[in-house]
């Protein structure tokens, strides 16, 4: 009987490893649903502070090892001095990740939260 990994292409194995790295984040939910012609990744990660591995770095890694992947990743990083009051969207298409401001949720304060008055 052959091992399940015996017939996998290197890119498939790299994508599986990327899923494992994403699953290592402090996450409430990581799922790898089967979809037509492959697998998808659905994840919700929550952290009060930047962590290692960084979720944006992992998204870049997926772009590199699985260039046919696509998706959006919404990030709010109040520790980023250039974007602390924005929700950022990382867009993965054809092996490239670009960053955009999510205009429906930005500026984060007062759109999503009230200003801190304490």
Q: Does some domain include residue 57? A: yes
Domain ranges, residue 24: 10-111
Q: What is the pTM of this model?
A: 0.68
**The total number of structural domains that make up the chain:** 1
Closest residue by Cα to residue 59 from 24, 28, 31, 95: 95
Q: Which residue has the tokens 């960053």?
A: 99
Q: How many CA atoms within 13 Å lie on the side-chain side of 17?
A: 12
Alpha-carbon gap, residue 28 to 8, rounded angstroms: 29
pLDDT value at 79 more than 70: yes
**DSSP-based three-state secondary structure for 55:** helix
Q: Is 2 part of any domain?
A: no
Whether residue 1 lies inside any domain: the answer is no
Is 60 exceeded by the pLDDT of residue 113? yes
Between these two residues, 90 and 12, which has the higher pLDDT value? 90
% of the chain exceeding 90 in pLDDT:
31
In a domain? residue 86: yes
Greater pLDDT, 82 or 39:
82
In a domain, 118, yes or no: no
Better-scored residue on pLDDT, 17 or 72:
72
Q: Which residue has the tokens 């429906």?
A: 104
Q: Is residue 96, in this structure, part of any structural domain at all?
A: yes
- Check whether 2 has a pLDDT greater than 50: no
């Amino acid at each position: 009987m052959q091992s399940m990994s015996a017939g996998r292409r290197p890119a498939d194995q790299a994508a599986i490893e990327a899923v494992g790295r994403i699953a290592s984040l402090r996450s409430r939910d990581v799922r790898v649903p089967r979809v037509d012609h492959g697998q998808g990744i659905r994840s919700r990660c929550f952290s009060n502070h930047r962590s290692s591995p960084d979720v944006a770095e992992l998204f870049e890694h997926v772009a590199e090892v699985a260039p046919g992947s696509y998706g959006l990743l919404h990030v709010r990083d109040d520790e980023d001095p250039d974007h602390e009051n924005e929700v950022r969207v990382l867009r993965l298409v054809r092996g490239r990740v670009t960053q955009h401001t999510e205009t429906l949720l930005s500026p984060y304060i007062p759109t999503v939260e009230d200003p801190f008055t304490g």
